Amino acid sequence: FSNKTFREKLAIWIAVDDQPFTIIKCPEFQDLLNFCNSEICMLTADTIK
């Protein structure tokens, strides 16, 4: 697992799928990602922009 690759893929998904940048703040979304990999370093909506 690579946080850098995760960030890149997350940004691409947000852009391609027309997700709002604020999806990052959603507690359920964060919980899902943390469940998949507790090493994930979460970004902020401003970082994604």
Beta-carbon count within 10 A of 2 CB: 9
Which pLDDT does position 47 carry in this prediction? 64
Q: CA–CA separation, 31 vs 49, rounded Å?
A: 22
Give domain limits for the chain.
3-48
**With the CA atoms of 42, 11, 18 and 40 taken in that order, what torsion angle do they form, in degrees rounded to the nearest 10?**
-30
**Rounded to two decimals, what is the model's pTM?**
0.71
Alpha-carbon distance of 11 to 31, in angstroms, equals 18
- Those residues of the chain that have pLDDT short of 50 are none
Residue 48's pLDDT is: 61
**What pLDDT is attached to residue 45?**
64
Model pLDDT, residue 1: 85
SS3 42: coil
